[in-house]
Amino acid sequence: MTTRPRPKVAFFDFTSCEGCQLTVVDLLQDHPELLDAVEIVEFREAMSEKLPLDERYVIAFVEGSCTRQSDEARLKSIRERADLLIALGACADLGGVNAIRNPFPLQEVREYVYGEKADWYETYPARPISAVVKVDAAIPGCPIDRDEFARAVTHLLQGRMPNLPDYPLCIECKSRGTVCMYQRGQACLGPVTRAGCGAVCPAYGYGCEGCRGFVPSPNLESMREVMREAGVSDEEIESRLRIFLTYQMMELEGATS
Amino acid sequence: MSRVHVDVHHLTRVEGHGNIVVDVRNGVLEKCELQVVETPRFFEPMVRGRTYKEIPHIVSRICGICSVGHSTASLRAIETALGVELSEQTILLRRLNMHGEMLDSHVLHAYMLIAPDLLGVQSVVPLAKSQPEVVLRALRMKKLAGEICRVISGRHTHPIAMTVGGFTHTPSERDLLYLRKLLLDARADVEATVDLFASLELPAFERETEYIASHKDDEYCYIDGVIASSEGHTWPAKAYRSVTNEYLVPHSTAKRARNLRDSYMVGALARFNVNFEQLHPVAKAAAAKLGMKPPVVNPYMITVAQVVEIVHCVEDAIELVDELLLRGVKWEEPVEPPHQSGQGVGVCDVPRGILFHDYTIEDGIMTAANCIIPTGQNLQNTELDMRALVPKIVDRPQPEITLALEMLVRAYDPCISCSTHLLDVEFKE
């Protein structure tokens, strides 16, 4: 019996908590068959093996934001060796929480952490990897949803792009019968956030923080109005929009260069 | 001229990016560094100017492995600053959640990151072929850990339901009975884990150091407690800066720490040495089977101390679930803080060791934050271990030296992406 060569898949990380890669490890509890479908050739967090330099990755998953000039070369070389480059999770997809510091003056942020040694530590405003290289698709979320990841890999192996919902989170709250956060007077970004996580945060009593990014054409003004009516303060609304979505909000305001 | 040069760029099977560089010329150790090259994350300046309510979810993102630990330390800092008194139920649920994370992290480290070295393979992938029962057992135990966290706080990586003053969601009786069954079923896997590590030979290397862990007299402590040292001293949590004495070195984005000696160790082995008396009796019996009696001064034994803690966490989790079932879990509104300004230190002993979050809040808004992470506290101790180890093994073939050093660093279970979020203390040259 001959075995077909399995597609070579690799995982890389930039500035992140590596929680999405851990979610991939956790996924193997329920989907051990994935290891038969692909050959994982690099995964520094979990493996010592490395792919020879002249070989290509069929899929490269990249977790994390790009936060310093010197990381761009590594990211670009991964892009050159990969047939498909997929952003894994909110840091890579959106900039995510790493971009919270972008509105602060860069030097001041460095000095707050490293004092007079600030110049030892290179950094620049955090950005999604799509600001540096072409990204073929994203698996959103903080962390990624493990079932969505499994579906996305299946699609990619079949030569299709992952099929992300283009409707807002509210649909998922309705279908699982979660009481609307606005009825409880709490901030929630559900109306403008891409569904696909099963609205897990509202189900556990906490309003959506927008980690999966905006739906196409989000109506922010209308959402703000509904939240104000529910008794949420303007400060809280604007702050909530700047946890995972700081980079996008700065883009909307024309503040990113 | 003889030269031994070890240069491990981006050490694998650790969380985050670190390099090992060792240079020995004519028998003289010229360079011996554990370099942390992870990108800086800047969490402390980031959280300033925000309402404290958002902070536990944001700082959870410091680390995907110890997100429950960071969330809990953050909550304890806020609650201490604002004078919140927690209910018994909240305390029990938080302890149970922390046990879930401890199990998850220790199983990941012992089985997936360390066992490949001891069983002579490069990673868990070939291990899955050669000894599938070992890998399947690890995955079952990780699933148990993940389920504990999911039931209590919504998910393991980045918990949802833990909030200032309590929880935004409480588990049902059915949920708890489900956990109880999983925990009881896991006892066989836990026993097999003890047997496996009792049969494996770890490198023999000893270097005495100072061990630091959080401590309570009546509980093997993971949340709150005083700071205790193996040198016989204790300090209140708010005096943490006088214990950690942070300083910077140029080859690392992570700060370092020292207390009564040139360096100190935190984590499972430090807890084992400091808090042995408080371990669950079944865990003490497992320690005896594993040949461990405090003080254990071989850093490679950190992993074995984690195995002892796996036993402790499963047994203690069963008791916590039983207590919750007996009391009956009911919905409780999170406790409203009695005031909106203050300063507070939260202390947790997370999988890799003692963790401090120190916040200042004014009128509900964060004005200052300082986090001191376990891996940062361990870095100097790791490097001093490397310095003591290299002369003992310098005559061996180069790949063996490299492997011994990699295994030493891996034993500490470094969480490098955490350790770069350190902050503003004065600098010692």
Question: What single string gives the DSSP state of each residue in B363-394?
Answer: TTEEEEEEEE-HHHHHHHHHHHHHHHHHHHHT
Partner residue facing B45 (CB), from A14, A101, A209: A101
Give the model's pLDDT for residue B223.
98
Give the model's pLDDT for residue B420.
43
- pLDDT tens-digit profile of A194-208? 999 999 999 999 999
- C-alpha B111/C-alpha B117 separation (Å) is 10
- pLDDT tens-digit profile of B71-81? 999 999 999 99
Give the model's pLDDT for residue B81.
98
Indicate the class that CATH gives domain A8-157: alpha beta
- C-alpha B420/C-alpha B429 separation (Å) is 19
Residue B39 vs residue B6, higher pLDDT: B6
- pLDDT tens-digit profile of B171-200? 999 999 999 999 999 999 999 999 999 999
Give the model's pLDDT for residue B429.
25
Flag whether pLDDT at B15 surpasses 60. Answer: yes
Give the model's pLDDT for residue A21.
92
Give the model's pLDDT for residue B423.
27
- pLDDT tens-digit profile of B380-429? 999 999 999 999 998 898 888 888 998 999 999 887 655 443 322 222 22
Domain B43-380 has CATH 3.20.20.70: no
Do B406 and B22 form a contact (C-beta atoms < 8 A)?
A: no
Flag whether pLDDT at A254 surpasses 70. Answer: yes
Contact criterion met (CB < 8 Å) for B40 and A29:
no
Helix or strand holding residue B341 (H, E): none
- Peptide linkage before B171 cis (omega within 30 of 0): no
Partner residue facing A100 (CB), from B40, B46, B163: B46
How many C-beta atoms lie closer than 10 Å to residue A116's C-beta?
10
Averaged pLDDT, B211-233: 97
Nearest residue to B15 via CA among B400, B412, B353, B372: B412
Give the model's pLDDT for residue A104.
87
Which residue, chain included where needed, has tokens 């993940």? B146
Residues 139 to 178 of A: which have CB under 8 A from any B CB?
A: 142-143
Whether B142 has its CB under 8 Å from any CB of chain A: the answer is yes
Question: Rounded to a whole number, what is the distance in Å from the CA of B111 to chain A's nearest CA?
Answer: 11
Q: Distance between the two ends of chain B, CA-based, in angstroms?
A: 33
- Average pLDDT value for chain B: 90
Residue A127 vs residue B246, higher pLDDT: A127
ipTM above 0.90, yes or no: yes
| The pair of three-digit structure tokens given for residue A55, joined into one six-digit string | 């070989």
| The pair of three-digit structure tokens given for residue B33, joined into one six-digit string | 């560094």
Nearest residue to B313 via CA among B173, B164, B117, B179: B179
Question: What single string gives the DSSP state of each residue in A154-197?
Answer: HHHHTT-------SBTHHHHHHHTPPPGGGGT----GGGBB--S
Q: Which residues lie below 8 Å from residue B203, measured CB to CB, with a gap of 6+?
A: B298, B300, B404, B407, B408
Whether B18 has its CB under 8 Å from any CB of chain A: the answer is no
Do B54 and A186 form a contact (C-beta atoms < 8 A)?
A: no
Residues of chain A positioned with their CB less than 8 A from the CB of B250? 120
| The pair of three-digit structure tokens given for residue B103, joined into one six-digit string | 């199990």
Averaged pLDDT, B88-117: 95
Q: Which residues lie below 8 Å from residue A100, measured CB to CB, with a gap of 6+?
A: A242, A243, A246, B46, B47, B58
Residues of chain A positioned with their CB less than 8 A from the CB of B61? 17, 19, 96-97, 142
A16, A22, A27: best to mutate for the B interface, most B CBs within 10 A: A22
Residues of chain A positioned with their CB less than 8 A from the CB of B143? 26, 29-30
Whether A117 has its CB under 8 Å from any CB of chain B: the answer is yes
State what percent of residues in chain A have pLDDT above 90. 70
- B36 beta partners: B18, B252
| The pair of three-digit structure tokens given for residue B426, joined into one six-digit string | 């004065």
Flag whether pLDDT at A180 surpasses 60. Answer: yes
- C-alpha B236/C-alpha B228 separation (Å) is 9
How many C-beta atoms lie closer than 10 Å to residue B302's C-beta?
27
Residues 179 to 198 of B: which have CB under 8 A from any A CB?
A: none
- C-alpha B99/C-alpha B148 separation (Å) is 8
Eight-class DSSP state of B113? I
Phi, psi of B347 (to 5 degrees): -125, 130
Do A63 and B27 form a contact (C-beta atoms < 8 A)?
A: no
Residues of chain A positioned with their CB less than 8 A from the CB of B169? 203-205
Going from N- to C-terminal start, the domains of chain A cover: 8-157, 170-252
Averaged pLDDT, A61-84: 94
